């Protein structure tokens, strides 16, 4: 926005003595109109979403409790809680990565509609649930119910991956995208297409090996933390022959 303002200010300072004054003014009007429209259309959705993400990520620390111990056994009691620390760090990172992805999505969205708002609420429902399976897994990792706890944990992220895909597909099919971000939007679609299948495999693996399923879950989080790779359009080879002699 600031860069656009500087460009338009420079155009206004220079263009009055040139014949392109009216064209530059129209260009600046369209540019500012689109930027302001995109900002105002989704600003309330993004602000509300940021609040939910912030609350969900803060609630995670409530599961890290001060141990009740007898005199002289504090060190051992703190060590026994290591599953709680690991679960906290994993879920903190996961919610943070989901927030980053949510931010990426809305950088591509030009306008909103009722469907987008309700689907965004559905996604936030999944995000707000994350503290529960985190606490469940930490409490039962060494108990007989470890497999069930891990299944709930992995299943939560499987459902969230579906919610992300539903929201994004609605944006693409509903024409809510900014046309200038088409290539990066296609890259997001390819990356998100992997999510539900991969998380479903991770969920199924829970019944065979809980540690392996959690490792794959972490690997998937890293995969989605990295921005999707945008395919570069191949340009025709450069012609070294005399002018008007090249045929493509």
Which tokens in the block code for residue 200?
């479903």
Which tokens in the block code for residue 239?
């012609």
pLDDT confidence bin for 142, thresholds 50/70/90: confident
| Burial of residue 225, with CB atoms counted within 10 A of its CB: 0-12 exposed, 13-18 middle, 19 or more buried | middle
pLDDT confidence bin for 213, thresholds 50/70/90: very high
Which tokens in the block code for residue 214?
């959690």
Position 243 scores a pLDDT of: 53
The Cα 199–Cα 187 span in angstroms is: 19
pLDDT confidence bin for 189, thresholds 50/70/90: confident
| Burial of residue 20, with CB atoms counted within 10 A of its CB: 0-12 exposed, 13-18 middle, 19 or more buried | exposed
DSSP 163-197: HHHHHHHHHHHTT-B-GGGHHHHHHHHHHHHHHHH
If you average pLDDT over residues 117-128, what whole number do you get?
94
Residues comprising the chain, all counted? 248
Position 183 scores a pLDDT of: 77
Asked if pLDDT for residue 147 goes beyond 60, the answer is yes
Percent of the chain with pLDDT over 90: 37
142 Cβ neighbours under 8 A, 6+ residues apart: 83
If you average pLDDT over residues 109-127, what whole number do you get?
91
Asked if pLDDT for residue 68 goes beyond 50, the answer is yes
Per-residue pLDDT tens digits for 14-59: 444 344 455 545 544 444 444 444 456 788 889 999 999 999 999 8
Position 247 scores a pLDDT of: 55
Encode 152-164: b = buried (16+ Cβ within 10 Å), e = exposed.
bbbbbbbbbbbbb
If you average pLDDT over residues 124-148, what whole number do you get?
89
Question: Nearest 5 degrees, angle CA 232-CA 162-CA 58?
Answer: 100
Nearest to 182 by CA among 100, 108, 73, 118: 108
Asked if pLDDT for residue 131 goes beyond 90, the answer is no
- Full-prediction pTM beyond 0.75? no
Which tokens in the block code for residue 206?
């829970």
Asked if pLDDT for residue 81 goes beyond 50, the answer is yes
What's the mean per-residue pLDDT of the chain? 79
The Cα 52–Cα 181 span in angstroms is: 27
Position 86 scores a pLDDT of: 85
């Amino acid at each position: 926005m600031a860069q656009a303002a500087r460009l338009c200010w420079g155009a206004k300072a220079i263009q009055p003595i040139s014949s392109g004054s009216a064209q530059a003014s129209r260009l600046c009007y369209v540019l500012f109109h689109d930027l302001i429209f995109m900002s105002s259309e989704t600003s309330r959705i993004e602000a509300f979403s940021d609040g939910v993400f912030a609350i969900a990520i803060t609630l995670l620390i409530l599961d890290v409790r001060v141990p009740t111990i007898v005199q002289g056994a504090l060190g051992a009691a703190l060590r026994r809680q290591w599953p709680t620390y690991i679960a906290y760090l994993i879920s903190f990172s996961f919610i943070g990565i989901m927030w980053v992805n949510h931010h990426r999505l809305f950088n591509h969205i030009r306008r909103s509609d009722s469907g987008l708002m309700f689907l965004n609420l559905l996604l936030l429902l999944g995000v707000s649930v994350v503290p529960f399976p985190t606490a469940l897994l930490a409490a039962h990792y060494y108990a007989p119910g470890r497999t069930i706890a891990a299944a709930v944990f992995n299943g939560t992220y499987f459902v969230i991956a579906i919610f992300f895909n539903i929201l994004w597909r609605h944006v693409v099919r509903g024409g809510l995208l900014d046309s200038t971000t088409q290539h990066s939007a296609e890259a997001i679609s390819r990356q998100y297409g992997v999510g539900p299948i991969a998380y479903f495999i991770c969920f199924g693996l829970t019944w065979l090996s809980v540690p392996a399923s959690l490792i794959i879950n972490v690997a998937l989080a890293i995969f989605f933390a990295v921005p999707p790779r945008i395919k570069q359009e191949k340009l025709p080879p450069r012609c070294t022959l005399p002018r008007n002699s090249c045929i493509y």
